[in-house]
Structure 1
Amino acid sequence: MTRVPAVLLRHRVTIEPNLGDGAYGPAYGPPATVRALVADRPQMIRTPDSRTIQATATVIAGPEIECPVGSRVTLPDGRATTALTVARHAAPGLPVPACTEVMCQ
């Protein structure tokens, strides 16, 4: 399986994985900075709980990132967003790269 070429991952984002709810609200894991490609554009999406909502950014990163829905994602411009949907793309045997797509609010 091939990966997204590193030359395409021009940005750096920080991901704090969602660990669930704690006594004081959402709990997040330790931050990890990863290389990614960020597209800042509004897009209507459907969340896993069937709500239609507007995403403000799309983050494309390598297939190994840990970013469950609800994770805090800090974009290159410093804006903190929330991961609305996470899709892992892979096509074993085909000449297309594997990646993870995160839609952020």
Structure 2
Amino acid sequence: MVSEVPGWLLRHRISVEPYLGDSAYGPRYGDRVECVPALVSPMRKQLADKEGREVLATAQVIAGPGLECPPGSRVTLPDGRTATAVSTARHTAPGLPVPACVEVMCQ
């Protein structure tokens, strides 16, 4: 049985600065996590952000189930572009032979 997405499928490396919330000085981010294994796919998909506004996601990131990347986080993609996480989904299927993973849509 597969418990999480196999590492050999995660061919890219990204960096993540998790969004912690807003302060009087603007958004606050946690410590940067470097070299996170991921699979990054360029795409164009219309989504609603956490405030319900329509945004265009331009990248899909698949990573292991331990990734902490709440909406609003800064994500540095393999091409060097810094994107913002629009949505994060944790995919699990307990008891089924499919991998658990985290999907992050970035703008």
Separation (CA, whole Å) in 2 of partners of 1:84 and 1:58: 10
Higher deviation after alignment, 36-45 or 88-97:
36-45
Separation (CA, whole Å) in 2 of partners of 1:5 and 1:46: 30
Identify the residue that residue 31 of structure 2 maps to in structure 1. 30
1:75 maps to 2:82: no
| 1:22, distance to aligned residue in structure 2 (A) | 1.8
Separation (CA, whole Å) in 1 of partners of 2:20 and 2:55: 23
Query: What root-mean-square deviation, in Å, do the aligned CA atoms of Structure 1 and Structure 2 show?
Result: 1.1
1:19 maps to 2:20: yes
TM-score (norm 2): 0.93
| 1:50, distance to aligned residue in structure 2 (A) | 2.3
Runs of 4+ aligned structure 1 residues displaced above 4 Å come to none
Unpaired runs of 5+ in structure 1? none
Local SS of the residue matching 1:44:
strand
Q: Which runs of structure 2 are paired with 1:52-71 in the superposition (5 Å)?
A: 52-71=54-73
Separation (CA, whole Å) in 1 of partners of 2:56 and 2:31: 27
Aligned length: 105
TM-score (norm 1): 0.95
